[in-house]
Amino acid sequence: MFIGCWGPMGEDSPGSRAGSTVVLAGLFALLLGACATSGPAIVPASTLPPPSAEPYRVRIADVVEVAFFRTPELTQTRQVGPDGFISLNPVGQVRAAGLQLDELTARVRDLYASDFEDPRVTISVTQYAAMQVWVGGQVNAAGMVPYRDGLTLVQALMEAGGLTDNARTDQVLVIRKGAGAQPVGALVNVDDILSNGELSSDVALAVSDMVFVPRSRIASLNRFIQQFIRNNLPIPFVLGFDVVPR
C-alpha cells in the first residue's frame, strides 16, 4: 500500500473540488495504517496489475434480477442498498454485496426453500454500478466515467472534460486494485502523450481504476492528506476495492 508513505509527489491546494476530497477520503480510510507494515507500492504504468480474473462479486448499487422459473410472480429486480442488502418478497433482507452470483443464488434458494418446494432461481446483474472509473483533480468535470473495453487514460481524461490550465500533467496518478484487493499506484507523464505524441505510453485502464490529476508537485503527502482529508473521515467509498464483509 502507498497512501501516506510516499516521498515527494505532487501537491494540490485546499481549493480542489469536493468530489476529489470525498474520493481521496474514502481511499485513505481504506488504507489507514497500511504504511506501518508495508513499503510503497508505486510501479511503472506498464507493470500495473492486470484486471482481476476472479468471478464477479456483487457490489453496492448494482441492480440484480432474481428470476423464478416455476413461480414467475416472485421474480423481482432490486438495487443493492448502501448497506449491501436487497429486500426480497416475502423473505425480507438478504445480504448481496460481496457475494459471487452463484453464492447469492444459493443463499436466496435456501431462504425460499422453507416456503416453496424446490425453488428454481437464477440471479443476474442487469446494471453494474462498478463498471466505471473515477477521474478527479485538475479536470473540468471530475467524477465517474463509464468504462468500456479499451478505455485509456487519455480518453478518460478527455471524457472528464479535459485538463485544467493548472494541471500537473507529468504526474498523473493511476490507482488500481492489485493482489488481495491491495491498491497499487503508477505515475504517468501525460504531457509526453499529449504534447509529444507518445501514444505507446498511454495506459489502458481497468474497471474501477482511480485517476487523479494533481495541481502541483507534492512535497509531503502527509500534508496533502491533512489538508484535504483530515476533517472528512469517515467517508465510505467503494470503487473496485473489496471492503464489503462477505
Per-residue confidence (pLDDT) for residue 50, from 0 to 100: 80
Q: Which residue has the higher pLDDT, 187 or 87?
A: 87
Class of residue 216 by CB neighbours under 10 A (exposed 0-12, middle 13-18, buried 19+) = middle
Question: Which domains does the chain possess?
Answer: 18-53+130-228 (3.10.560.10), 63-127 (3.30.1950.10)
How, if at all, do strands 132-137 and 210-213 pair? parallel
pLDDT, one tens digit per residue, over 79-124 is 999 899 999 999 999 999 989 999 999 999 999 998 888 899 999 9
Amino acid, res. 33: G
Q: Which long-range contacts (CB under 8 A, 24 or more apart) does 233-237 make?
A: 233/25, 233/28, 233/29, 234/25, 234/29, 235/22, 235/25, 235/26, 235/29, 236/26, 236/29, 236/82, 237/22, 237/23, 237/25, 237/26, 237/27, 237/29, 237/30
CB 110, CB 97: distance < 8 Å? no
Maximal CA-CA distance, the chain? 67
d(CA 206, CA 168): 23
Report the percent of the chain where pLDDT is more than 70. Answer: 67
Lookup result for grid cell 410472480: 73
Amino acid, res. 147: Y
Cell of 184: 497499487
pTM reported for the whole predicted model = 0.58
Rg of the chain over all Cα atoms, to the nearest angstrom: 20
pLDDT, one tens digit per residue, over 6-55 is 333 444 444 444 444 444 444 444 444 444 344 336 677 888 888 766 78
pLDDT, one tens digit per residue, over 169-178 is 888 888 887 7
